[in-house]
Amino acid sequence: MTINWKWDMFFEAFPFILQGLGVTVGLTFACFLFALIFGFVWVFLRRIKFKPVNWLVTWIMEFIRSTPPLIQLFFIYYAWPMVPGIGVSLTSFESAIIGLGIHFSTYIGEVYRSGIEGVDKGQWEASTALNFSTRQKWTKIILPQAIPPTIPMLGNYLIIMFKEVPLASTIGVVGILSLAETYGTDNFRMLESYTIVALIFLALSYPSAILINKLEKKMNRRFDKKAALQDSKGAVV
Amino acid sequence: MVESVKESNSSNISNKNIKPIVEYKKVHKSFGDVEVLKGLDLNIFPGEKVALIGPSGSGKTTIIRMLMTLEQPTSGEIIVDGKNLWHMEKNGKLVPASEKHLREVRGDIGMVFQHFNLFPHMTILQNCMTAPVQVQKEDKESAKKRSIEMLEKVGLGDKLDNYPNQLSGGQKQRVAMARALVMRPKIMLFDEVTSALDPELVGEVLEVIRDIAKEGEMAMVLVTHEMDFALEVADRVIFLDDGVIAEEGKPSEVLEESNNERLQQFLYRFRS
């Protein structure tokens, strides 16, 4: 049995499937933005010291993380509109943003938390001693130190989300996967169609991963580098 | 012991009519089951330089951390410039202080830490001028000018645009002092500010404290292990032992003439 591969069909399918890239990438960034913002909500909800609230928030986060994102998408798109009183009917694109956005926000919230906990306790004490307001402590002192080290981790989540976005095709978001399906079934060319989808993902994910890797190395060196620069001038011991 | 100490306390202050700027009233502090302060009564007067000495765990750092609102007393009151620090009046009742109340009362207090706690993401100049601009709403130009002057005073006028990690420990601690001083506090707290430094860098930091002390108008509370320095700079030395003031008085009285056995034991370790 020889492999049934037709290059002419491959090159015909390619531009057709590529049309969906805008939607796929757009949805990725929309979900990511949603998750970035909502991640902060989790961080602040978890900092509420009132025990019942704390338990509730922890439990909800655990629940969201332990449920497959596909089920969450189905729930938001198909089941949520049926809930009397609070149910709202959303487009598939909106459902995907909210579903995947909330799912990943629980992970991104954890990333933020690790960044915040990585800031030395002395930084809080010094900002109290200088009488900064709670808001100023966060915006001027803590977050500017907590967020930069998390950027590589956030970048990794962006790539992971990019790879999860095809799930949205199940609720009717027409990205590259949906178009590949359409082309494949219409022309009986599944092999070429899905190969193209895989190649597009590879072409975007792999360079991004390399980029993030470099960024991470640069971040790690950031503070040391300033010191190293100074050392070379011989200004400081 | 504590009672007799209280009398000697006030006798040390030349003018009994001056109102204390800080009053500790029967302050207790426990961490879990461990009671580190057992009913502290202590007055600090405007401009007075007080050195707190004592073995580790004697509660000396806790005393100043409570004043900076970094630790909350288990019971008792701390009065700063006539205002209750940890409690406020609400509908005629005394209730635990809100963050807003704490901010109002602690505005006159500054602190320098053992581990400097400079802001690593800011230059030396930004470290100094951020708080005056953000907290005291001072004009940016004037805050900058005063910060530069202060950094020059501590001998770091050439390091304005450097980041903290480019400095030596002694330089960092001098920046930390400049940063606190720019806020023009009436009370400055020093928490073992030379303990984290290499021995050869201690001198430059003590030099700055000595200069600040000479200017006089600011009250200073120093938690320190530098006995000679305490002898030189302080108006009053307080020896804490096991959560109470075990001895206090003029530096020479406490460090050279006291018969307190625990104090003698403690000092013995510092005099080789």
Question: In the predicted model, what is the mean pLDDT of residues B49-72?
Answer: 93
Least Cα separation, residue A225 to chain B (angstroms): 10
The residue in chain A having the minimum alpha-carbon distance to the alpha carbon of residue B180 is A130
The more confident residue out of A202 and B259 is: A202
Checking if the pLDDT of B249 tops 90, the result is: yes
Helix axes A92-117, A51-66, angle to 10 degrees: 120
H-helix segments, B22-110: 60-67, 99-106
Q: Is A237 on the interface with B (CB under 8 A)?
A: yes
> pLDDT, tens digit, for every residue of B92-115?
888 999 999 999 999 999 999 999
Chain A residues with CB inside 8 Å of B180's CB? 129-130
Mean pLDDT within B14-33: 87
**Across residues A174-192, what is the average pLDDT?**
92
Interface check for B133 against chain A (CB to CB < 8 A): the answer is no
Q: How many angstroms separate the Cα of A57 from the Cα of each of A106, A114, B34, B154?
A: 11, 17, 33, 49
Which residue is closest to A132 within chain B, CA to CA? B135
- Is B196 an 8 Å CB contact of chain A? no
Nearest CA to CA, how far is A10 from chain B (Å)? Answer: 52
pLDDT at A234 exceeding the cut of 60: no
**How far apart are the C-alpha atoms of A35 and A52, rounded to whole Å?**
25
pLDDT of residue A215: 86
Q: Output the pLDDT for position B259.
A: 86
Query: What SS3 string covers B192-207?
Result: CCCCCCCHHHHHHHHH
Pairing of strands B236-241, B83-84: unpaired
Look at residue A116 and tell me whether its pLDDT is greater than 70: yes
B223 vs B51: CA distance, rounded Å: 6
A27/A151 Cα distance (integer angstroms): 20
Instruction: Kindly give the residue spans of alpha helices, DSSP state H, lying in chain B.
Output: 2-12, 60-67, 99-106, 124-134, 140-153, 169-181, 199-215, 227-233, 251-252, 261-268
As a whole number of angstroms, the distance between CA B234 and CA B18 comes to 18
pLDDT at B56: 84
* pLDDT at residue B1 in the model: 40
Confidence at residue A228, expressed as pLDDT on a 0 to 100 scale: 46
Percent with pLDDT over 70 in chain B: 93
Nearest Cα of chain B lies from the Cα of A229 at a distance, in angstroms, of 9
Identify the residue among A119, A123, A130 best suited for mutation to test binding to B, counting B beta carbons within 10 A and taking the highest: A130
**Residues of B in Cβ contact (< 8 Å) with A132:** 131, 134-135
For residues A223-236, average pLDDT:
45
Question: Taking a C-beta distance cutoff of 8 angstroms, is the pair A162, A28 a contact?
Answer: yes
pLDDT of res. A17:
93
Residue A14 backbone phi and psi in degrees, to 5: -55, -55
Question: Do residues A175 and A30 make contact, with C-beta atoms less than 8 angstroms apart?
Answer: no
What is the crossing angle of helices A190-233 and A151-164, to 10°? 180
Question: Nearest 5 degrees, angle CA B171-CA B56-CA B188?
Answer: 45
Chain mean pLDDT for chain A: 90
Q: Supply the pLDDT for residue B258.
A: 85
pLDDT tens digits for range B109-133: 999 999 999 999 999 999 999 999 9
| Model confidence at A224: pLDDT above 70 | no
pLDDT over 70 (residue A222): no
The b/e string for A6-17 (b: 16+ C-beta within 10 A; e otherwise) is: eeebbeebbebb
- Asked if A126's CB is within 8 angstroms of B118's CB, the reply is yes
pLDDT class of B153 with cuts at 50, 70, 90: very high
CB contact under 8 A, A236 and B111: no
CATH topology of domain B2-108+185-268: Rossmann fold (3.40.50)
Please state, in angstroms and rounded to a whole number, the distance separating the CA atoms of residues A16 and B104.
Answer: 66
Domains of chain A, each with CATH number or no CATH: 7-233 (1.10.3720.10)
Closest CA of chain B from A125, distance in Å: 7
Nearest CB among B107, B116, B163 relative to A131 is that of B107
Q: How far is A213 from A219, CA to CA, in rounded Å? A: 10
Q: For residue B235, which of B224, B257, B220, B215 has the smallest C-alpha distance?
A: B220
Closest by Cβ to B135, choosing from A125, A130, A224: A130
Q: Is the pLDDT of residue A85 over 90?
A: no
pTM for this model (two decimals): 0.84
Contact B113 A126 (CB under 8 A): yes
Taking the C-alpha atoms of residue A211 and residue A67, their distance in angstroms, rounded to an integer, is: 31
Q: pLDDT by residue (tens digit) across A9-56?
A: 999 999 999 999 999 999 999 999 999 999 999 999 998 989 999 999
The arithmetic mean of pLDDT across residues B192-200, rounded, is: 91
Which one of B116, B130, B183 would you mutate to disrupt binding with A, by most A Cβ within 10 Å of its Cβ?
Answer: B130
d(CA A110, CA A104): 10
Structure tokens at A66: 């332990």
Q: Could A133 and B103 be called an inter-chain contact, meaning their C-beta atoms sit closer than 8 Å? A: yes
Q: What is the DSSP letter of A44?
A: H
Element (H, E) at B180: helix B169-181
Among A124, A128, A131, A138, most B C-beta atoms within 10 A, so best to mutate, is A131
Categorize the per-residue pLDDT at B24 as very low, low, confident or very high, splitting at 50, 70 and 90: very high
ipTM of this predicted complex?
0.90
Quick one: tokens of A7? Answer: 């290059």
Judge: B163–A226 Cβ closer than 8 Å, yes or no: yes
